[in-house]
Structure 1
Amino acid sequence: MSRKWGWPVWLLIMTGIACASILHLAVGAKSIPWVEVWQALTAYDPSNSDHSVIQGSRLPRLWVAMVVGACLGLAGTVMQAVGDNPLADPGILGINSGAALFVVFGLLVLPGNNMSMIPLFAFSGALVAALGVMLLAGRSHNPVRLTLSGAVMAALFSSITAILLLLDQQGLDSLRRWLTGSLGISGAVLPHWLWPYLLIGMLLCLCNVRALNTYRLGAQAAASMGVNLLRMRLMSLAAVVLLSGCAVALAGPIGFVGLVVPHAARLLVGNDLRHLLLATPLIGALLLILADVVARTLVSPYELNTGIVTALIGGPIFVALVLRKLK
């Protein structure tokens, strides 16, 4: 399929990102003309209030949407590949919930912590959740059993998080938006701590692409062709933990992006992981940009959290995939 479509697919994706980005900058509580958007990007005037809104608020939020979407799309692709499970997703398998629990616990319960500790808490929670799901699912490769194990872990972590927040009303008020997935909480710029973790996570994916491609033939065939299965799984786990942790630390637990994006990418570029690992970050960024546009305009002048919109999009798709798998 990737050979059939070729470069028009990549041109379509990049054009979609460009158009969605301009739309993201132009619409919101206040609509800004396209000409003003272009001038704010190319000839910024600090005295112009529209330029200030774009540069100070909407452009940083756009970058957050791109990074979070790319992280979740890539993490979902790796999870589906290494688990041979089309239902895998950092949110569905409880990884996002585990990261969120550890962030809430670290900020509200442990003394002396501040926002700079969020990434470490998020990575720790994502790792604990991933290991818990693997232990609960056992050696079974049944996608439904793995998904149910993830749902159990997600429910457990979410319940503990709710209990912690009920015990701290002030913490509930400050973290309410973050816990439902919001792109407007990261401040004016992407945190400096993001880039090392993000780059390492993406590098692990790229270094693992040949092994993941061979693994599509089956575990025994991959092992006979020289693939170190333990190393492949550990690298995949590390990549998913880093990418999911970055996404949760930036915007809270946003679900279903990692589920929907790999399936959309396969329709466009095929099943070759060399193409998928390039396409899914782009498609993930595009999906989250559009979801954030809907979140900011659907009930204007009020604003929905972006995680609510992705759940409305991804929920029906998840049900359809489960029903198809059970047939």
Structure 2
Amino acid sequence: MFLATYWCSFSWASVLTIRLLRESARDKAVFLHGQVNGTSGDVKDAVVILEKTPFQEENISDLLKNHTKLQLQMSNDIYSTYHLYPPPQLSEIKTTVIYPATEKHLQKYLRQEVHLIRETGEDYKNITLPFIQSQSFSIQWVYNILEKKAEADRIIHENPDPCNGFVLIPDFKWNQKQLDDLYLIAISHRREIKSLRDLTSEHLPLLKNILQEGKEAILKRFGVAGTQLRIYLHYQPSYYHLHVHFSALSYDAPGISVERAHLLTHVIDNLELDPQYYQKQALTFALRADEPLLKKFQEAGRA
């Protein structure tokens, strides 16, 4: 799978838009299903995400200069609204491409009804874990980062210890041009930890390294203090390899809702109170209507 914010071996002319998967007025983004004519003549699916980029302080004055077009929409007393048409260099749209995309990728971005699941420790053992083990979730791209076969130049910090080490890398959702939407991911070198459910007190040194060294690296590189960061894990995660999210506290990042995000400090506290906390605790998470795991919970009478 090719994942990037630029086009690689194909051009816009080779992309046919099939359908709109979803749009987000809040995030100023659209999610498209496209098909790409490959160099060998085969046609493969792709997901194309178009997002309006955040304003950058250094460009604000350029937006208001004479070469920007303003079109009046409404005027009433002291209030007026306009459509502003900036010059091309200030009209950037961030484009993310997932290619070739599987049906799972297409479903991930398709608008769906969502259901809340309350998963007990027994539910995890009897329903969720067997489901995970039966699936072929490819995370080769994660291993490519850890092995420095890809994105090595983007690594912000690394602790190379194979047991308690990790790499810290910008999330592809962040363009690194402003700090308001700062977003990085810490990826553990250990490969057997799938999610929050696998964590025990044995993993406290790893988690504490991620917390402390991650904050220090972000302060050193970007000047953002730890008190201005939201540091958390997802459950369910989007991929089954332990990783921790670092986002600016001012950023309304995807997946920070209470039914998915677990603050790393709370995770550490819980494991210090009970080494088996996440094997016992009931956890709540959301599943889309089309997800096979939801069907498993429904068949077991748990949803």
Q: TM-score of the superposition, structure 1-length normalised? A: 0.26
Ranked by relative contact order (alpha carbons within 8 Å, sequence separation 6 or more), the top structure is 1
Normalized per residue, the structure richer in strand is: 2
Normalized per residue, the structure richer in helix is: 1
Q: Larger radius of gyration, structure 1 or 2?
A: 2
Q: TM-score of the superposition, structure 2-length normalised? A: 0.27
